[in-house]
């Protein structure tokens, strides 16, 4: 199996569409007022936004977007008005991460992990 996409809940469809377009994602489907789909600028991953009346939980989705130029990307986004709750930080799990929220409160983690993305020192070897 391979992961095709994820769908994020949105309580403000237009604000969410604008947010992800401003981040640099490529819009490939637009079916207002309830659904939109994006491609990542690198690779072949996609994700979508679906309008909901309310979010199901405060401890919802965290979406991880890999950026090999994390610090530069964060600076670019900050200069375009994006506000980060966590600036690029080296983490104990060997990833460098920055975090922000989308307009619906979904957590977005921009990160760089290099080889540790799928092969950390504690990986289980069959």
Q: How many CA atoms lie within 13 A of 41 on its CB side?
A: 11
Mean pLDDT of the 82-94 span = 97
If you compute the radius of gyration of the chain from its CA atoms, what whole number of angstroms results? 15
Which residues are bridge partners to 26 per DSSP? 39
pTM: 0.88
Q: Mapping DSSP to helix (H, G, I), strand (E, B) and coil, where does residue 109 land?
A: strand
Q: Could you tell me which CATH class the domain 5-117 is placed in?
A: alpha beta
pLDDT, the chain, mean: 92
Domain boundaries defined on the chain: 5-117
Q: Residue 125: pLDDT band by 50, 70, 90 thresholds?
A: confident
Q: Checking DSSP bridges between strand 26-31 and strand 96-101, what pairing results, if any?
A: unpaired
Poorest-confidence range of 16-30, 55-69, 80-94?
A: 55-69
Asked if 54 and 73 count as a contact pair (C-beta separation under 8 A), the reply is no
Task: Give the model's pLDDT for residue 57.
Answer: 67
Tens-digit pLDDT profile for residues 18-63: 999 999 999 999 999 999 999 999 988 999 999 998 877 666 678 9
Listed residue (88, 100, 91, 94) closest to 117, CA to CA: 94
């Amino acid at each position: 199996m391979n992961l095709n996409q994820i769908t994020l809940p949105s309580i403000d469809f237009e604000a969410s569409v604008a947010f992800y377009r401003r981040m640099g994602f490529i819009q490939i489907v637009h079916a207002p007022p309830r659904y939109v789909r994006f491609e990542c600028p690198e690779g072949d991953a996609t994700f979508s936004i679906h309008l909901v009346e309310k979010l199901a939980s405060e401890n919802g989705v965290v979406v991880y977007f890999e950026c090999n130029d994390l610090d530069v990307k964060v600076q670019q986004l900050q200069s375009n008005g994006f506000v980060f709750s966590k600036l690029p930080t080296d983490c104990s799990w060997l990833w460098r991460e920055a975090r922000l929220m989308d307009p619906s409160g979904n957590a977005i983690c921009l990160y760089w992990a290099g080889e540790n993305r799928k092969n950390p020192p504690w990986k289980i070897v069959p």
